[in-house]
Amino acid sequence: MSSQDRKPSSDCPVEDLEVLKKSPPSSAGGPAAVFSSMEHIHESVGLIKGTRLLMDLNQKKGFDCPGCAWPDPDEKRSQFEFCENGVKAVAEEATEKRIGADFFKKHSVQELSLKSDLWLGKQGRLTQPMILREGSHHYEAISYEQAYKEIAQALKDSRGPDHCVFYTSGRTSNEAAFLYQLMIRSFGTNNLPDCSNLCHESSGVALKESIGVGKGTVRLQDFPLADTILVVGQNPGTNHPRMLSTLQEAVRQGSKIITINPLDEAGLKAFRHPQEVQGWIGPATRLTHLHLPVKINGDIALFHGFAKHYLEHAKKEKDFLDHEFIKNQCEGFEEYQNFVDQLSWDEIIESSGLTRDQVWEASKILLDSKEVIACWAMGLTQHENAVGNIQSLVNLLLMRGQIGRPGSGVCPVRGHSNVQGDRTMGIWERPSESFLQSMDQEFSMSFPRKPGYCVVEAIDAMLESKVDVLICLGGNLLSASPDTDQTAVALRKVPFSVQISTKLNRSHLITGKTAIILPCLVRSERDIQEGGEQFITVENSMGIVHSSNGKLNPAHPDLASEVKIIASIAHELLGEKPVNFPELAKDYSRIRNHISRTIPGFENFNKRLQKENNFYLPNPVRDKRQFHCKNSKAQFHTHEIPENKLQEGEFLMMTIRTHDQYNTTIYGLKDRYRGFSGDRRIVLLNENEMRKLNLSEGDLVTLQSRFAERVRTARSFRAYSYKIPPRCCATYFPEANVLVPLEQRAKKSHTPASKSVVITIEKSS
Ligand SMILES: Nc1nc2c(c(=O)[nH]1)N[C@H]1C(S)=C(S)[C@@H](COP(=O)(O)OP(=O)(O)OC[C@H]3O[C@@H](n4cnc5c(=O)[nH]c(N)nc54)[C@H](O)[C@@H]3O)O[C@H]1N2
Ligand SMILES: Nc1nc2c(c(=O)[nH]1)N[C@H]1C(S)=C(S)[C@@H](COP(=O)(O)OP(=O)(O)OC[C@H]3O[C@@H](n4cnc5c(=O)[nH]c(N)nc54)[C@H](O)[C@@H]3O)O[C@H]1N2
Ligand SMILES: [Mo]
């Protein structure tokens, strides 16, 4: 078989570079962060252009950072409202390198698939629409217009709207997201899976049931008011670096931080603000007051341990629990109380992996805290019992009424910069009836009610050959999904796939039989349409909506915006029903007019944006302490402690991010805060376990996971010792996604259990 005829590889190829291991640093930020930012900006765009660009990042008239969803301060913004990893995200998009038709003529798809993710991303911005015809080995150029026609035709030729799937990643603007879901629902399906399904879906489902809103309930100004801030299953030093400034301010005002994480992440130990003189020359601010090295998936046990201390303390101090709040505004407390009462400490200690003293030490801090904020991210959401994790954490807050009042509440820290906004705009496979009713009314239509597929259900459907067309608005579905090999099989079964993208990634190489790439503008670029220069809007992790104005010239003069692409496909597909899509795309304020009449909280959207730079969306829990859930009461949910039984030789593996990546986009090969650099195919194990497995630092190992009668194998990983609880191990996402079972999903939210993979480790001979 010639190399041309071999199938493109879905694996992340081995770089076989030398791995360097150093001790992790004792603090985050500081000069190292500034130097690292400058290195990336210098390499991509040069220092002068780069510095000018950064002056507009997160400014009121500037553009929103394409990195994470942490909010900007309402008032006091510095000239430098960005962080090291935000700079990397901007540098990655603003790169001067370009990929056009010549590039694809030179490289076959199979050849590209043997390159690393780092290499793929570093080739530059996609600038020309490309098509991979069935049976061909090379992408070839196609015009946008021809591509729109072929896409619309493929949709029309499908077995029907429910045989088409429309994925979205969380960088899409509100305007593009609204138009996209309008097109898809007008076509006739709710098949709108999105990256949220792989991310904070468990938070949304859990919070909706517990408190009636699927979003966070605190603002930035609540942080300094909290006595204690719990940071659970989250690594903000890397993934939300601007959160460290908020935490630093809170600590300076007297808040204590308890970190709950199998790893003692350097980014949470201490912080040097890179933009303060003191951050360069003075001592670092200690952030974490107490770190609890919980076992992977030991969180429910720990939360129940806290609850047990609360209940014991309540016997001594009559008003310790908020009895009035529990009685008048909550349900389910008695059942929960009885359940916690009968739990044994042995079980709590065994399952959490902590000592009784550790649990008591943290409980003492909590017992003394009037106001508590609970923050979390993927360490809680990516387990089979993820919904239970979050509801058990919420129970603790409910017991003391620590919700919907200043200084207290829940803070699920979102990932992608507009993932929350996309959901608000209707990117959801299970839209609410009230949303659909307002859509019906606004567009005089009757939109479909049948729930669509979430990500894993969409992959199931592709495996069963039920999907004829797949369209992805951003993202990298192949590498972000579990079970890379199975997902590759699924994607290859689809007759026609489309990627609306900015940079090359593995989903452009493992595709449907015919595949199209439609390149688009990024947020930092100027977007000029017939109606003049446009801006877009986004919603951050705290429900604040604001505008974002691109500043750079587009990477290529012909690049279309996401809105323009969607409107053009919609026009080819639907004509003028229910709206004239191209007319809306000429002036995005017309889309905002529809949003303002359809989605609560967006009334007079355009007018308000002229007057105020940003506004909060209503949140009944935060604003009025009202709970729009069962019987209008906040709900205590009682969850058993998960078993997590491991057989001899098995480990529980979590797949985590390094400091040099944005999900599947690899910026570099350093994981500075954990002390590693070089390659990414590594597995971190406890020192004792390394010894038991007879492994020395850097030894090659094969990892396997067995679930649903399938064995998944990842070869050529190197083992390193690290401070991690016994029987736990860590690998990097997306290299280890081959091991994450497609079938192992969180109950109710269907989020893959990417942080709870049972594996075995064998030394390679
Ligand atoms: N620079 C950068 N920024 C990003 C991203 C990026 O890749 N790069 N990704 C964005 C996205 S989409 C998201 S969702 C967020 C992700 O942000 P995070 O959730 O912070 O990302 P992860 O690396 O998945 O880290 C999860 C943390 O949970 C811990 N953990 C794992 N399992 C458990 C457990 O069972 N219990 C507890 N208590 N802790 C556990 C891990 O040790 C790790 O510290 O970041 C966003 N921001
Ligand atoms: N094992 C494991 N798997 C995971 C996770 C994990 O922790 N462990 N985390 C999960 C999480 S939290 C998430 S959110 C998903 C992420 O899943 P995705 O959102 O699907 O993946 P990304 O890597 O963020 O997508 C990167 C691609 O998006 C495109 N892109 C970037 N900016 C834009 C833009 O402005 N417009 C358009 N149209 N395209 C753009 C580029 O082509 C880039 O290559 O992965 C999930 N997968
Ligand atoms: Mo995410």
- For the stretch 11-26, pLDDT in tens is 777 666 788 999 998 8
- pLDDT number for residue 579: 98
d(C-alpha 110, C-alpha 6), whole Å = 7
- pLDDT number for residue 76: 66
Closest CA to 757 of 744, 642, 723, 749: 744
Would you say 747 and 391 are in contact if contact means Cβ atoms under 8 Å apart? Answer: no
The string of pLDDT tens digits covering residues 650-697 is 999 999 999 999 999 999 999 999 999 999 999 999 999 999 999 999
The pick from 657, 663, 667, 759 for probing ligand 2's pocket by mutation, whose C-beta has the most ligand atoms within 8 angstroms, reads 663
Residue 566 CA, distance from chain mean position: 23
- pLDDT number for residue 381: 98
Amino acid type, 106: K
- pLDDT number for residue 77: 61
- Region 219-230: mean pLDDT is 98
Checking if the pLDDT of 423 tops 80, the result is yes
| 276: confidence class by pLDDT, cuts 50, 70, 90 | confident
Amino acid type, 83: C
**Cα-based angle 516, 742, 66 (whole degrees, multiple of 5):** 50
- Region 705-715: mean pLDDT is 95
| 339: confidence class by pLDDT, cuts 50, 70, 90 | very high
Closest CA to 258 of 352, 174, 372: 372
d(C-alpha 435, C-alpha 413), whole Å = 24
- pLDDT number for residue 279: 66
d(C-alpha 512, C-alpha 496), whole Å = 5
Q: What is the whole-number distance in angstroms between the Cα of residue 657 and the centre of ligand 1?
A: 6
Amino acid type, 207: L
User: When comparing pLDDT for 51 and 365, which is higher?
Assistant: 365
Element (H, E) at 101: helix 101-106
- pLDDT number for residue 111: 97
Would you say 13 and 666 are in contact if contact means Cβ atoms under 8 Å apart? Answer: no
Q: Strands of 285-286's sheet, edge to edge? A: 28-29, 270-272, 285-286
DSSP 8-state symbol, 4: G
- Region 582-595: mean pLDDT is 98
- pLDDT number for residue 75: 67
Q: What is the whole-number distance in angstroms between the Cα of residue 379 and the centre of ligand 3?
A: 11
Domains, in order of start, for the chain: 49-199+418-519+530-599 (3.40.50.740), 201-412 (3.40.228.10), 648-763 (2.40.40.20)
Amino acid type, 238: T
Q: What is the position in ligand 2's atom list of the atom closest to the CA of 196?
A: 14
Checking if the pLDDT of 85 tops 70, the result is yes
For residue 332, list its beta bridge partners. Answer: none
Element (H, E) at 497: strand 496-501
The radius of gyration of the chain's CA atoms, rounded to the nearest angstrom, is 25
The string of pLDDT tens digits covering residues 302-326 is 999 999 999 999 999 999 999 999 9
CA dihedral 567, 571, 574, 578 (to 10 degrees): 60
Tokens 């057989």 correspond to: 647
d(C-alpha 275, C-alpha 80), whole Å = 7
Q: What is the whole-number distance in angstroms between the Cα of residue 656 and the centre of ligand 3?
A: 11
Query: Token pair of 688, please?
Result: 């004792």
- pLDDT number for residue 4: 54
Would you say 523 and 66 are in contact if contact means Cβ atoms under 8 Å apart? Answer: yes
β-pairing, 98-99 vs 125-126, is parallel
d(C-alpha 453, C-alpha 490), whole Å = 14
d(C-alpha 543, C-alpha 424), whole Å = 10
- pLDDT number for residue 32: 84
Q: Which residues surround ligand 3, an ion (CB under 5 A)?
A: 199, 415
- pLDDT number for residue 281: 65
Task: Indicate whether residue 199 lines ligand 1 (CB < 6 A).
Answer: yes
Residue 552 CA, distance from chain mean position: 26
- Region 546-570: mean pLDDT is 96
The pick from 657, 670, 722 for probing ligand 1's pocket by mutation, whose C-beta has the most ligand atoms within 8 angstroms, reads 657
This prediction has a pTM of: 0.97
d(C-alpha 44, C-alpha 49), whole Å = 10
d(C-alpha 203, C-alpha 749), whole Å = 9
- pLDDT number for residue 79: 55
Exposure of 106 in the CB half-sphere (CA atoms within 13 A)? 6
| 52: confidence class by pLDDT, cuts 50, 70, 90 | confident
Query: Token pair of 710, please?
Result: 């399938």
Q: What is the whole-number distance in angstroms between the Cα of residue 387 and the centre of ligand 3?
A: 16
Helix axes 299-316, 386-399, angle to 10 degrees: 20
Would you say 759 and 703 are in contact if contact means Cβ atoms under 8 Å apart? Answer: yes
Write down the mean pLDDT value for the chain: 94
Percent of the chain with pLDDT over 90: 85
CA dihedral 287, 293, 296, 299 (to 10 degrees): -80
| 278: confidence class by pLDDT, cuts 50, 70, 90 | low
Query: How is 185-247 classified by DSSP, letter by letter?
Result: HHHT-----BGGGGTTHHHHHHHHHHHS-SS----GGGGGG-SEEEEES--HHHH-HHHHHHH
Q: What is the position in ligand 2's atom list of the atom closest to the CA of 664?
A: 23
Helix axes 333-342, 299-316, angle to 10 degrees: 100
Would you say 502 and 522 are in contact if contact means Cβ atoms under 8 Å apart? Answer: yes
Neighbours of 712 (CB within 10 A): 23
Q: Go through the chain and tell me how many residues it has.
A: 765
Q: What is the whole-number distance in angstroms between the Cα of residue 200 and the centre of ligand 3?
A: 7
The string of pLDDT tens digits covering residues 492-506 is 999 999 999 999 999
Query: How is 71-89 classified by DSSP, letter by letter?
Result: PPPSS---S----HHHHHH
Task: Indicate whether residue 520 lines ligand 2 (CB < 6 A).
Answer: yes
d(C-alpha 739, C-alpha 596), whole Å = 44
DSSP 8-state symbol, 444: T
Task: Indicate whether residue 267 lines ligand 2 (CB < 6 A).
Answer: no
- pLDDT number for residue 27: 87
Q: What is the whole-number distance in angstroms between the Cα of residue 383 and the centre of ligand 2?
A: 19
- pLDDT number for residue 78: 61
The string of pLDDT tens digits covering residues 615-629 is 999 999 999 999 999
The string of pLDDT tens digits covering residues 371-392 is 999 999 999 999 999 999 999 9
- pLDDT number for residue 130: 98
Helix axes 356-367, 299-316, angle to 10 degrees: 60
Q: Is 715 helix (H, G, I), strand (E, B) or coil?
A: strand
- pLDDT number for residue 671: 95
- pLDDT number for residue 5: 58
Q: By 3-state DSSP, what share of the chain in percent is helix, strand and coil, each rounded to 5?
A: 40, 20, 40
- Region 434-443: mean pLDDT is 98
Exposure of 664 in the CB half-sphere (CA atoms within 13 A)? 27
